[in-house]
Amino acid sequence: MTYATHFDQNCVFCKIIHGDIPSFKIFEDDGVFAFMDINPIAPGHSLVIPKYHTPDLLSAPAETVSVTAAGIQRLAKAVQKTLRPDGLNILQANGPGAAQSVLHLHMHVVPRQMGDGLAMNWEMVPGDTQRIAQLAEEIKGNLD
C-alpha cells in the first residue's frame, strides 16, 4: 500500500498529509500521520490517519487498519504519559449516522477526566437477551 497511489486531492486529511494544509503534527511514519485536533473536545484531543486514503473502516484494506491501530496505540501511550488523564476514549466513526465528519479513515484519542461532562458515555441498560442472541447469529452469518 502506498500513499501516493491513494491520495484524494479533495480530501482535507490527504491535504494535511501532503502539507497543503498546516497541522500540529505529532508524528508520522510510512503508514500514518498523527496530529492535534483543531476543534478539541478536551486538551490533548488528537487524531491518527492512514496515509492510504480510504473513506472509512469498512472499506479500508486490512493492512491499512493494522497500521492505523498501531499508530493509535503509539499516540494514546504518548498522550497518557503527557497528560496523565483519568482515562482515554479511542473513537472512530463510520458514516453520517455515526457523525463521521471527514471521509478519510481516522481515529481520535480523547483524554478524559472524571466529571469532565463530555457526553460520550452511555448508561448500561440490560437488553433483550433473545434479540441479542438473534442478532449475534445474523452477524455471524455475514462474516467474511
Q: Which residues are catalytic?
A: 106
Cite the DSSP H helix spans in 22-128: 62-83
Of 47, 32, 28, nearest in space to 1 by CA: 32
Tell me the β-bridge partners of 33. Answer: 28, 49
Angle 16-66-12 from CA coordinates, rounded to 5°? 15
The torsion of the CA quartet 5, 95, 115, 112, rounded to 10 degrees, works out to -10
